[in-house]
Structure 1
């Protein structure tokens, strides 16, 4: 049973407590085996408290993963696309290298083809990628990349290269490796014309 102290938690601290418990359970058992009841027990609250804010398990896990991803898929604006993307990819690497991040990778690989998880990850991707894509779009606007550059493709190549190393090679890229990825992709994007990226750093 929840303690008296746990029942007195309200507002943002309560939300944080429940979402933290959700991420811990996701790391422990994965998405399929995760239960709202166990999350509530770990958080020290009644399950009705959880269901009141998140009616389904998908809603709960989605909220927890989105919050965890907030620090990684951010928008950087240093005035240099190379510096911005190195910072963003480094944050993604650091997040996915944690115990919770590894649990997220396992969930995607093991359960990502199920309709429920696929829909969840697609929703998270759409909600969290706008900031980094805006970073690439600003680089096009200021001339670091040529006009007509496919912002979606540049971003996908950058993040996809990092994810490939993490997901399939089980490699945690070093800072040097991340810089290599960024240089390779952005140098290729520059070949269509526009000002050379290296001269802007």
Structure 2
């Protein structure tokens, strides 16, 4: 007598249940894969849930809408691709990090971010989520760490470790993208941002009086 394998409708035993950080990781990994393959326009809670092997309720408990999940998935991609940058000198660190950001903007990952930014015109949730993500991004933390290392080496005053100082190179880089209308900036412009603006600002910071 042949025993038939039970189907899902007959109550097949579910896969091992994941919780907490393990489930968060599975969902973000699935959402990041969907972003890479289909872009933000093709990202749906249904597809992410299927890919992660969970249900939509698990997604909505963590991210209240598609926009929040899309931005979190982009952050997951960005965190995975951000290299350690420690050349032993402030100028070398700044150039390396700015060059990496410039290369990322013209990469498939950058295309995802550009699509997210374009979609904000029709999705206020997406705009709010992007602003929140930008405020605490890994890239911002990398620039602050860069400044902290410069202080430890005696290359900069402690007052230079400030969020406004740290975000300036990226603000200028994004301004160049907007002016040029292209997803890449020539390297001499990156050198100019570092040598003519960032380094003088860092070295000129004085204690608050």
Question: Are the equivalent residues in 2 in contact too, given 1:71–1:91 (CA < 8 A)?
Answer: no
Which residue does 1:98 correspond to in 2?
A: 107
Which residue does 1:69 correspond to in 2?
A: 78
Question: Are the equivalent residues in 1 in contact too, given 2:32–2:77 (CA < 8 A)?
Answer: no
Structure 2 alignment gaps of length 5 or more:
1-14
How many equivalent residue pairs? 186
Question: Are the equivalent residues in 2 in contact too, given 1:74–1:132 (CA < 8 A)?
Answer: no
Q: Could you tell me how far apart the structure 2 residues matched to 1:25 and 1:46 are?
A: 20
Q: Is residue 2:165 matched to residue 1:154?
A: yes
Give me the TM-score of the superposition, normalised by structure 1. 0.69
1:136 to 144, 147, 150: 147
Q: Is residue 2:62 matched to residue 1:51?
A: no
Q: Is residue 2:107 matched to residue 1:107?
A: no
Question: Are the equivalent residues in 1 in contact too, given 2:102–2:184 (CA < 8 A)?
Answer: yes
Which residue does 2:204 correspond to in 1?
A: 192
Give me the TM-score of the superposition, normalised by structure 2. 0.67
Query: Compared with structure 1, are the counterparts of its residues 50 and 95 closer, same or farther at alpha carbon in structure 2 (3 Å cutoff)?
Result: farther
1:182 to 174, 191, 194: 194
Q: Could you tell me how far apart the structure 1 residues matched to 2:191 and 2:44 are?
A: 40
> Aligned-pair RMSD on alpha carbons?
3.7
Structure 1 alignment gaps of length 5 or more:
1-6, 195-201
Deviations 1:105-139 (A, max 9, x none): 23224406854223312332233222321211332
Q: Could you tell me how far apart the structure 2 residues matched to 1:34 and 1:69 are?
A: 17
Structure number with bigger Rg: 2
Q: Could you tell me how far apart the structure 1 residues matched to 2:170 and 2:152 are?
A: 21
Aligned-partner SS, 1:78: coil
Aligned-partner SS, 1:173: coil
Offset of 1:149 from its aligned partner? 3.0
Q: Is residue 2:87 matched to residue 1:78?
A: yes
Query: Compared with structure 1, are the counterparts of its residues 79 and 100 closer, same or farther at alpha carbon in structure 2 (3 Å cutoff)?
Result: closer
Question: Are the equivalent residues in 2 in contact too, given 1:133–1:155 (CA < 8 A)?
Answer: yes
Question: Are the equivalent residues in 2 in contact too, given 1:25–1:39 (CA < 8 A)?
Answer: no
